[in-house]
Amino acid sequence: MAVFTSVSLDDVQPWIAQFPLGRAVALKGIASGIENSNFFLTTERGEYVLTIFENLSFEQLPFYLRLMEHLASRGVLVPAPVPNDKGELCVPLHGKPAAIVLKLEGSSELAPRPVHCAEVGAMLARMHLAGRDFPLHQPNLRGLAWWHFAAPAVLPHMAEPEAALLRAEMHFQEAFHGSALYGRLQQGPVHADLFRNNVMFDGERLTGFFDFYFAGCDTWLFDVAVTINDWCVDLDTGVLDEARVRAFLDAYHAVRPFTADEQEAWQPMLRAGALRFWLSRLYDLHQPREAEMLTPHDPTHFERILRERIATPAPSLYQ
Ligand SMILES: Nc1ncnc2c1ncn2[C@@H]1O[C@H](COP(=O)(O)OP(=O)(O)OP(=O)(O)O)[C@@H](O)[C@H]1O
Ligand SMILES: N[C@@H](CCO)C(=O)O
């Protein structure tokens, strides 16, 4: 259950008057999700999702909500936030920031085939291109600076072979992030958490990306690595599935061609994508915050993926 702040239809009725949505007809808490309180909201005008943000502040939210608005207005399939009568996307509800976004059709595809990976790859490339003129800037808050903060917090909890791997990978990634090659990679707004549970499909048709609350400005290639590390892996071994990888990369490349620099940076970046989630899962396991981490995600999954990305040459980004 992931409704941390309870809201009734009666609570919502006066509040929703500021949105051009008519009266609220139904409100139903959404069980999945571990960060925020989410509700399916039906109004006289249609179907929406109401989110009450449990951890993000009013100052942090414009970046995410304006990015979704920007992308949606350029035809990228993401849920458009609904502005109130003052043009605001985020307004208090029970003292916490809240927003209404369009409800996407469909459901998550948790056993993706190449056809699904191609859809995700093409839409991710469109998203990267559409974000180029987004005017707001926020760094990826789970980037290298956060890794420097999180690693010392988790290392005392780790056994030596794993601790040694973490220390070695941190050194490797510091050098990579400081390299001239890294400095030449294209950057912009990225989703940074585009896992299978953050994309909707209606059959084989992608209907949207959602959960933008880890988005930030980073290299496009990092976003590709994070996404491939989830969509194209065998979940038991962490090994990349060739057919899914090829379908994803070819579809991305057809929209936004990869560069030679990106090819050179690809293997270190796949490792960076694995390290990011190994670290955050370790951190959430050892330093749980209140009101979240109902079921902590398994860090060893990403440790396995990291070891695998170090040991196995990366596939070609393009042919
Ligand atoms: N725009 C949307 N359209 C349709 N369903 C949505 C939408 N946004 C969220 N949902 C539904 O709500 C669920 C929880 O949303 P979300 O993943 O954003 O929650 P969260 O608390 O931020 O979680 P987490 O960080 O665990 O992914 C999703 O699994 C999805 O079923
Ligand atoms: N996608 C993250 C959870 C936070 O959205 C993980 O699998 O660790």
ipTM: 0.94
Whether ligand 2 lies within 6 angstroms of the CB of 195 is answered as yes
* Smallest-distance ligand from the CA of 32: 1
* Smallest-distance ligand from the CA of 297: 2
pLDDT of residue 100: 98
149: which residues sit within 8 A by CB, 6+ positions away?
none
Residues 264, 270, 273, 274, CA torsion sign:
negative
Q: Over the stretch 206-243, which tens digit does the pLDDT of each residue have?
A: 999 999 999 999 999 999 999 999 999 999 999 999 99
Q: Over the stretch 63-79, which tens digit does the pLDDT of each residue have?
A: 999 999 999 999 999 99
Which residue's C-alpha comes closest to atom 5 of ligand 2?
Answer: 193
Ligand 1 pocket test, candidate residues 50, 196, 210, most atoms within 8 A of CB: 210
Work out the average pLDDT over 83-100. Answer: 96
Work out the average pLDDT over 55-68. Answer: 94
Ligand 1 nearest-atom number relative to CA 79: 1
In angstroms, the CA 59 to CA 200 distance is 28
pLDDT score of 294 more than 90: no
Whether ligand 1 lies within 6 angstroms of the CB of 2 is answered as yes
Structural domains of the chain in order of their starting residue, each with its CATH number: 9-102 (3.30.200.20), 114-311 (3.90.1200.10)
In angstroms, the CA 72 to CA 184 distance is 28
Whether the CB-CB separation of 124 and 224 falls below 8 Å is answered with yes
Ligand 2 nearest-atom number relative to CA 302: 8
Whether ligand 2 lies within 6 angstroms of the CB of 297 is answered as yes
pLDDT score of 34 more than 80: no
In angstroms, the CA 249 to CA 258 distance is 9
pLDDT score of 267 more than 80: yes
pLDDT of residue 258: 98
Work out the average pLDDT over 71-94. Answer: 97
Whether ligand 2 lies within 6 angstroms of the CB of 193 is answered as yes
Average pLDDT, the chain: 95
* Smallest-distance ligand from the CA of 99: 1
Ramachandran angles phi, psi of 202, nearest 5°: -110, 100
Q: Over the stretch 168-196, which tens digit does the pLDDT of each residue have?
A: 999 999 999 999 999 999 999 999 999 99
Residue 277 is which amino acid? F
pLDDT of residue 5: 82
